[in-house]
Structure 1
Amino acid sequence: MAAHCLRHPQRGEGGATSRDIAGIVAADRATTGTDYDLAFLGCGINDVWRHFQGRTSEAVGLEEYTRHLNAMLDQLSGYTRKLVFVSETPFGPVEDPNTVTAMNAELARYNAAAHAAAAAHGALFLDVWAPFTAAARHLTGDPGALWSDGVHLTELGDTVLLQQTERLLAEHRIIEKLQDYPLLERHAALTAYGPMVARYRPSGS
């Protein structure tokens, strides 16, 4: 029986915009040279929020956002077996209703751009917008219970996100498929899989 270890990047950073995350992705590859089995990528809410906060130097416009997305997807798809882009959740009750409506209208444009970019790069797109909207609608006593401040998720919000992620993994049998590497001819196998085990080989005397 073979044991499998799925390699996946964990580089989340609170408050980061797509500009920041693009730098993280580029630096990770340059520093570690690691190939990944599974990668989740998501960004956009801070790009929009910074604009509405008046932090214009940190805000990222849609054109720049799309450029960063394509750069990251280009890079990650080159050494990641399965790539999933996670849409941003909508803004919850953070300010007056008109402001929230305007922020969500803008954020929806960013999610649409992310969906198109993911499709162009053969990545899966996990759309969590509708599930969060439905969950908030059903929480009639406290529609803001999914967010601690209208932006960051509460434990309940994390649970909704986790459920959607688990559903995607199950529907596409992602983990099962990633645990079964294709058989290759010997020389091709050495080239494809050699770097994955090189660090575990005993060094020569």
Structure 2
Amino acid sequence: MTPGTYRQGDVPAGRRLAQRRDTGVPATSIRDFDGDPGPCEAPRTLTVGFFGTSIMEHLEAVNAQMTTQANLPEVGSRVTVESWARRGWVHRLTLSLRAAWPHIAFDVHNHGKGGATSRDVAGIVEADRATNGTEYDLVFLGCGINDVWRCFQGRTSEAVDLEEYTQHLTRMLDQLRGYARRIVVVSETPFGPIEDPATVTSMNTELARYNEAAAQAAAALDAQYLDMWNPFTAVAQHMTGPSGTLWSDGVHLTELGDTVLLQQTEHFLAEHCIVEKLLG
């Protein structure tokens, strides 16, 4: 008889038989269990926050009949929008996390706001802390695209120059690291064909400067930086035809564009073992 195992008649009171969990074909032992069962672990919860623009918010019109496969409306019929729901890459990432870690509860707070500049996002971060006082395990923070866009739209009072953008981002990071265990600064995606090519090139040249400032701020304040710009641009350069576009209007993303962001985020989380480290 091997050490640590017992014949049935030898098991002392309060003990249980050694157990083996066999897997594979043919089955091979991967772990031995012996002794009293351990106490059940309390369910774990990871609280995740998203602060950013419409790229994170991504609203979608909802009608219950539109999502019930057994009761879809007839083609050509009309339905009433009953509510707005958050979809896009943040929604899909939430589903992906819950599927990959079914024993973990992910409490997701999406504070993305369409049209928000860094000035607006800074106000959202401030209000969230003052109102809710939420302690976050993981925060994704991204802004800048509207700071640049407003300038090219001629809405100068709403535009945010690079110096002010850096100040807002630095302040948000400094505040968030007081109650967030891990912060990931997400770069903005480039502009697509929203204006004439020369104007779009100028817009992206300016937006790239904001992303560089975001990367520097993240490094200075112990946050991680998730580059969406380069992989998004690489995919866009190889796409052809209307079915391959990453933008719905040159700024907001299609499902394909959201998929690029989703895959990059999943890869980033896995590469840095972020969920595993948060679970301790």
Name the TM tier (shorter chain): 0.7 to 0.9
Between Structure 1 and Structure 2, the one with more strand by share is 2
Structure 2 residue runs of 5 or longer lacking an equivalent are 1-40, 50-109
Match for residue 226 of structure 2 among 109, 117, 126:
126
Q: If you compute each CA radius of gyration, which structure gives the higher value, 1 or 2?
A: 2
Distance in 2, matches of 1:31 and 1:140, equals 46
List 4+ stretches of structure 1 deviating above 2 A. 140-144
Q: Residues 137 and 143 of structure 1 are in contact (CA less than 8 Å); yes or no, is this contact kept in structure 2?
A: no
Q: Residue 8 of structure 1: SS of its match in structure 2?
A: strand
Match for residue 4 of structure 1 among 44, 47, 50:
44
Q: Residue 58 of structure 1: SS of its match in structure 2?
A: coil
Q: Residues 92 and 151 of structure 1 are in contact (CA less than 8 Å); yes or no, is this contact kept in structure 2?
A: yes
| Deviations 1:109-156, CA, capped at 9 Å, x for gaps | 000000000000110100011111111111033497100111001111
| Deviations 1:174-205, CA, capped at 9 Å, x for gaps | 0111112xxxxxxxxxxxxxxxxxxxxxxxxx
Aligned to 2:128: 28
Give the superposed CA RMSD.
1.2
Distance in 2, matches of 1:90 and 1:2, equals 43
Q: TM-score, normalised by structure 1?
A: 0.85
Q: Residues 148 and 203 of structure 2 are in contact (CA less than 8 Å); yes or no, is this contact kept in structure 1?
A: yes
Aligned to 1:64: 164
Between Structure 1 and Structure 2, the one with more helix by share is 1
Aligned to 2:277: 177
Structure 1 residue runs of 5 or longer lacking an equivalent are 181-205
Distance in 2, matches of 1:176 and 1:66, equals 31
User: Are residues 1:94 and 2:134 paired?
Assistant: no
Query: What is the deviation of 1:4?
Result: 1.2
Paired amino acid for 1:5: T
Distance in 2, matches of 1:177 and 1:127, equals 21
Distance in 1, matches of 2:214 and 2:199, equals 23
| Count of matched residue pairs | 180
Aligned to 1:48: 148
Match for residue 256 of structure 2 among 134, 156, 179:
156
The structure, 1 or 2, with the larger RCO (C-alpha pairs under 8 Å, 6+ apart) is 1
Q: TM-score, normalised by structure 2?
A: 0.63
Distance in 1, matches of 2:229 and 2:48, equals 24
